[in-house]
A and B are shown apart, each in its own frame.
Chain A
Amino acid sequence: MEFQSCFDIIGPIMVGPSSSHTAGVVSIGKFIYEMLGDCPQEANIVFYDSFAETYQGHGTDKALLGGLLGMDTDDQRIKNSLELAKEYGMQYQFEFAEECEYYDHPNITIVTAKCGDYVVKVGGVSLGGGLSKIFLINDKMVDIRLSAGDDLKALARDYQSIEKEFMEAI
């Protein structure tokens, strides 16, 4: 059961126009921002399938950059995030592909982001209604559910501590 809470259905409070192509993508970007602890200096963003076909109409690119800049789904600055990212000195590029080899869904993005010495590769899927999921971090499959109103900072921190324990164990 992917959908758990009444707020997965009623919500998020968000800027338009699409819950799956805008709001869900803001959360994926914001999760990466929280993982890095800051907005990345460089970001390579791959949009697959439906994202690749319709990103301009839905502002999917603005949504992802807004998230990477630390914005929430209802932040009215999202519509200006392409310019804001440049002002912040973020180097970004978008690539487009048909199908993703890691996960079967029409709404997928894989982002490689760099902040200082820290580089992460994160795969996210937007499931609809603003709900999304991180399924890949640095070539490892994960299952981190991102819902409206979740504390993404805490989720990213939890993941980092699990990862750290794992690294120390080996």
Chain B
Amino acid sequence: MEIQSMRELIKACEKEQKTIGEMMLKMETEKSGRDKEIIIAMMEERLIKMKEAVDRGIKDDSAAPSGISGGDAVKMYDYMNQGKALSGNYISNAMAFSLATSENNARMGVIVATPTAGAAGILPGVLFSLHKNDGTPFKDLVMGLFTASMLGLVIANRSFISGAAGGCQAEVGSATAMAAGTIVELRGGTPEQAVNATAIAMKSLLGLVCDPVAGLVEVPCIKRNVIGTSIAFSAADMALAGIESQIPCDEVIGAMYRIGKDMPRTLRETALGGLATTETGKQVKERLFCRKS
């Protein structure tokens, strides 16, 4: 069985009375020939690595080797624990966990790419926030990773998931879209609602360019991961409220692809445009790498 579009995915889930996560698990079992239990254990291992990255990052206030990131996860976690966060527990926890993961990534620590390392903060951010705030058990979070990967597979095969190929809309955009759909499914929404959340989240990030300062996955990547978690929760809430995306998800993904193709090379992870070429961005680059430019 091949699923090449969100439309096919919703149909298949309805026909087989399965969630998106269950559908992914079934497909993986068929394709890989591995036992279902082994596949679940492999996914569990990834969830554990994500948790370890969050736990390490939330306590580590050291700077990345570049000196341009690090320490913000601890700040956000403290602020959140003082009960001051305007955005509420779900979003503020996700923000702290997302910072923890992405800062860890910048330190060349071990993380899990979801779907990429540059966007690795978003899914763990929302998943462990759900766990903390409504007690979603780990076993459900593992199923959530199957939901996320099914949504990600459709996006990756119809468009792209890396900043170099399609800009940040492809990277943080895809991860945010996957996270939005995953929240919906973990909160008991239908596959159709999950796909609506995916579309709504992706639409909010269309056109976002990849312009990392000095080519590092730090500025603005880390904070874009954080904002991604907020968008994921907003999109999920809209979908769970019964709000639909006026543009079907497959068409949104198609738009993301075309925008990425139209995006100049300078804005696709080459660090030759956008924030990378601001005065400060150029100074950072010069300070870090005395090389041809």
A residues less than 8 Å from B164 (CB atoms)? 20-21, 50, 106-107, 128
The answer on a CB contact under 8 Å between A14 and B271 is: no
Bound CA span A16–B69, Å: 14
Q: Mark A100-143, 1 if CB is under 8 A from B, else 0.
A: 00000111000000000000000000011110000000000000
Bound CA span A72–B109, Å: 14
The answer on a CB contact under 8 Å between A128 and B271 is: no
Bound CA span A58–B120, Å: 15
A residues less than 8 Å from B146 (CB atoms)? 6
- Counting CB contacts under 8 A, is A88 at the interface? no
The answer on a CB contact under 8 Å between A9 and B110 is: no
Neighbour of A6 across the interface among B110, B150, B270, CB < 8 A: B150
A residues less than 8 Å from B216 (CB atoms)? 17, 57-58
The answer on a CB contact under 8 Å between A53 and B272 is: yes
- Counting CB contacts under 8 A, is A42 at the interface? no
Neighbour of B113 across the interface among A1, A105, A130, CB < 8 A: A130
Interface size class of A (residues with CB under 8 A): 35 or more
B residues less than 8 Å from A50 (CB atoms)? 164, 268-270
Neighbour of B162 across the interface among A4, A16, A128, CB < 8 A: A128
The answer on a CB contact under 8 Å between A14 and B110 is: yes
The smallest beta-carbon distance between A19 and chain B, in angstroms, is 4
B residues less than 8 Å from A59 (CB atoms)? 108
The answer on a CB contact under 8 Å between B271 and A74 is: no
The answer on a CB contact under 8 Å between A18 and B165 is: no
- Counting CB contacts under 8 A, is B214 at the interface? yes
A residues less than 8 Å from B148 (CB atoms)? 9-10
Interface size class of B (residues with CB under 8 A): 35 or more
A residues less than 8 Å from B215 (CB atoms)? 53-58
Q: Mark B1-37, 1 if CB is under 8 A from A, else 0.
A: 0101000000000000000000011001001100000
A6-B153, A22-B117 as given contacts; A129 in contact with B162, CB under 8 Å: yes
Neighbour of A1 across the interface among B24, B107, B157, CB < 8 A: B157
A6-B24, A57-B217, A59-B108 as given contacts; A1 in contact with B4, CB under 8 Å: yes
Neighbour of B271 across the interface among A1, A8, A10, A57, CB < 8 A: A57
CB-defined A-B contacts under 8 Å, sample of 26: A1-B157, A3-B153, A5-B28, A5-B31, A5-B32, A7-B46, A9-B115, A9-B178, A10-B46, A10-B112, A10-B115, A10-B148, A17-B105, A18-B217, A19-B120, A20-B116, A20-B162, A20-B164, A50-B269, A54-B269, A56-B215, A59-B108, A78-B108, A79-B108, A106-B265, A130-B116
